[in-house]
Amino acid sequence: MAPPARLQVPRPGTAVPYTVLLGWLLAQVARAADTTGRAYNLTWKSTNFKTILEWEPKPIDHVYTVQISTRLENWKSKCFLTTETECDLTDEVVKDVGQTYMARVLSYPARHGNTTGFPEEPPFRNSPEFTPILDTNLGQPTIQSFEQVGTKLNVTVQDARTLVRRNGTFLSLRAVFGKDLNYTLYYWRASSTGKKTATTNTNEFLIDVDKGENYCFSVQAVIPSRKRKQRSPESITECTSREKGRAREMFFIIGAVVVVALLIIVLSVTVYKCRKARAGPSAKESSPLNIA
């Protein structure tokens, strides 16, 4: 149920035209009388085409049904008679991410499991329009691999998988957007705070760096053709010093394993020789005498 309207009474002594005052009173009465459980604050939440419609309020004596359509199609019902305040509409919007979708939330009085007696035209609220290819948020990208050799730094970005399918296969973000998907690389010397940038419409960067310097960097997905929601969050920051640190750690681990193995071998040989040396005299004493 929508929260009760708070009456905002004009200040005493303020001159208010009669028509304005009447309109204000009618609006307040209409808001206070809206006790139908009508949904409000309908909001699309979408990242990499995973799309959920959310709304308010949490129902007390009502249930909701969500309907979705394009501009050329009839309404299709989803999330029937639910007490939740969200509905996953991904399977509908990924059918054609270039279409513009509309949704609405219908409110029904709770019947304790009995679905009869519902009004033919229940109160409902419409959502804003939603076009997935334009409105879905770009998810945080992932750095797949990186390597610094001399004065060259190579960074490879891993494309996120989406729930958009073609011939039964889930498409990557690159497969959906093609060359319209760019990545921006932010990189800087580990000993400095000054950032440089590089951009590519592929998934690989090969940039010039100073030899012997460690570098840190992050990447960001960008759709330049969009008017809004152009950029994703930046990826987790990586540093080439970590790569060297991992190599160093592996070297020490392998070295430790080799040392332990050698110690075990040396100890085994030593114990064997000691046992053989002790067994030598006793074996001679216990041997029978040779009588000529």
Supply the DSSP string of the chain, one letter for each residue.
-PPPPPP-PPPTT----HHHHHHHHHHHHHHHH--S---EEEEEEEETTEEEEEEE---SSEEEEEEEEETTS--EEEEEEESSSEEE-HHHHTT-TTS-EEEEEEEEE--TT--TT--SS--EEEPPPB-HHHHSBPPPPEEEEEEEETTEEEEEEEPPEEEEEETTEEEEHHHHHGGG-EEEEEEEETT----EEEEESSSEEEEE--TT--EEEEEEEE-TT-SS--BPPPPPPEEHHHHHHHHHHHHHHHHHHHHHHHHHHHHHHHHHHHHHHHHHHHHHHTSPP---
- Please provide the CATH number assigned to the domain covering 142-244: 2.60.40.10
Assigned token pair, 168: 């039964």
Q: Assess contact for 141 and 80: CB atoms under 8 A.
A: no
* pTM exceeds 0.95: no
CB 101 within 8 A of CB 70: yes
Domain ranges (residues) in the chain: 36-134, 142-244
Asked if the domains at 36-134 and 142-244 fall in one CATH topology, the answer is yes
* pLDDT by position in tens, the chain (length 292): 444 444 455 555 555 566 656 665 655 544 444 455 799 999 999 999 999 999 999 998 899 999 999 988 999 999 999 999 999 999 999 999 999 999 999 999 987 545 455 667 899 999 999 999 999 999 999 999 999 999 999 999 999 999 999 998 999 999 999 999 999 999 999 888 789 999 999 999 999 999 989 999 999 999 999 999 999 999 999 999 854 444 444 445 666 676 777 778 877 777 767 777 776 555 444 444 444 4
CATH topology of domain 36-134: Immunoglobulin-like (2.60.40)
